[in-house]
A = this chain, B = another copy of it.
């Protein structure tokens, strides 16, 4: 995950947020879940620096979109009870896959927080689209 690509993904997420009328934070992490870039829109809530990197980390750690993880951690879901101080298990985190010769691996993730969950997901997907068409 290089910085230049992380910034292009971030830009796409922020454009989507503008279209949605949402104020969000956008985090991009590498395959180890470590932050590569983060941007919080002027006026976006201070939860963003916790939740956006948390969603990005969670999507890497579990190799699935946090929106898909949400029902699994809900009461009755098979991962109910999932805990950990970096986990954020509702929509807005998307893993980024690549094949560098050893099969498909998760090599990073994007996390968006600050709007409604639907808005966060739309922004994260806009960023992930940049990744998939890089």
Contact A83 B85 (CB under 8 A): yes
Q: Which residues of B contact A76 (CB under 8 A)?
A: 74
Q: Which residues of B contact A30 (CB under 8 A)?
A: 32, 46
In the docked arrangement, what's the CA distance between A60 and B35, Å?
15
- Interface residues of chain A, those whose CB is within 8 Å of chain B, are 2-4, 7, 30-43, 45-51, 54, 60-63, 66, 69-70, 73-76, 78-91, 102-103, 105-106, 116-117
CB distance from A89 to the nearest CB of B (A): 3
A43-B102, A45-B61, A82-B90 provided; 14 other pairs, C-beta below 8 A?
Answer: A3-B39, A3-B42, A7-B39, A32-B34, A38-B39, A47-B62, A51-B84, A73-B81, A80-B89, A80-B90, A81-B87, A81-B88, A83-B85, A83-B89
